[in-house]
Amino acid sequence: MKAVIPAAGFGTRFLPATKAQPKEMLPVYDKPTIQYVIEEAVASGIDDILIVTGRNKRSIEDHFDKSFELEQTLQSAGKDDRLKQVREITDLADICYVRQKEQKGLGDAIYCAKKHIGGEAFAVLLGDSITKGPTPCTKQLIDVYEKYGASAISLEEVPKEKVERYGIIKGREVEKDIYKIEKLVEKPLSHQAPSNLAIMGRYVLTPDIFDKIDETEPGVGGEIQLTDALQKLDSIYGVTFEGKTYDIGNRLEWLKTSIEFAMDDDDSKDDLIEYMREIIIENE
């Protein structure tokens, strides 16, 4: 299966940090966000990845490209660990790029992948969100796609007052944590939301989605919304992901995610706890 990573958005919620650099390249602890995303795809068995880019996104291509000078410098300096890390990034997967000419929304970004994908089902991983769990989120969706032969999307419960930020579903639970979706609404008002199950940025889609996107008129915010196109599919399943999804496009969540990921590193954990204690005492 191939994967598509949309990474062409303007990232307006994170300005000015994203004025000249893509939010997908913002580091979370010690790696750019999009590297975690690609690692998830690879851990799910995918090695053919198309990244949808736009203006100001060159650093994404540079990051996954080979850097001869850097490799040579590290080699001559005997920094073998660093050299290994740098080489691993380039060897992760076959990555190609397509440009979305105008930022007309997520649906439009995915439509740019039509030629590369052909007639097969494919995975979509948003370039500005990271997932963490016992099984990679995309792998869970691939399993549901294979079992039901239909598109599958990741879901997470969100507090009722936050539903206005997400695409929300109405569905019937057909087995534990798997819903047959009856309705999807993009950013509903909280009193109109059909549930508090939100679409979280990972999808496995059947190729008929391209025709559905083509038929979709601009929706919320004047953008071609993927949620509106998903609504037109004959059959679609939602999976409550056994793990957590982090939205890096939101600056507070980006900061919290960096701290959480640093806590997973034994070299940083104790110093970080000490530092946070000091800050808490200073601010009490």
Chain contacts with ligand UTP (rule: CB under 6 A):
6-14, 24, 52, 100, 103-106, 108-109, 126-128, 249
Q: Does residue 110 contact residue 151 with C-beta atoms inside 8 Å? A: no
Cβ pair 220, 168 in contact under 8 A: no
Q: Which two tokens stand for residue 117?
A: 């994908």
CB atoms within 10 A of CB 159: 9
Nearer to ligand UTP among residue 109 and residue 229 (C-beta): 109
Query: Which residue's CB is nearer to ligand UTP, number 106 or number 200?
Result: 106
Nearer Cβ to ligand UTP (60/178): 60
**Least distance CB 224 / ligand UTP (angstroms):** 8
Residue 124 C-beta: closest distance to ligand UTP, Å: 9
Task: Give me the least distance between CB of 126 and ligand UTP, in Å please.
Answer: 4
Question: Partners of 178 in the beta sheet?
Answer: 175, 239
β 197-205/122-125 pair status: antiparallel
Pairing of strands 2-6, 27-28: unpaired
* Rg over CA atoms, the chain: 20
> Which of 61, 146 has the CB closer to ligand UTP?
61
User: Whole-number minimum distance, CB 1 to ligand UTP, in Å?
Assistant: 20
Characterize the bridge pairing of strands 129-132 and 244-247.
antiparallel
**Least distance in Å: CB of 219 to ligand UTP?**
13
Residue type, 202: R
Whose Cβ is closer to ligand UTP: residue 186's or residue 197's? 186
Closest separation in Å from C-beta 107 to ligand UTP: 8
How big is the CA angle at 226 (ends 12 and 100), to the nearest 5 degrees?
Answer: 60
For strands 2-6 and 122-125, give the pairing.
parallel
- Token pair for 41: 């795809």
Residue 82 Cβ, how far from ligand UTP at the closest point, in Å?
A: 28
The CB-nearest residue to ligand UTP is: 9
CB closer to ligand UTP, 74 vs 247: 247
124: tokens are: 């979509």
167-175 and 178-186 beta bridge pairing: antiparallel
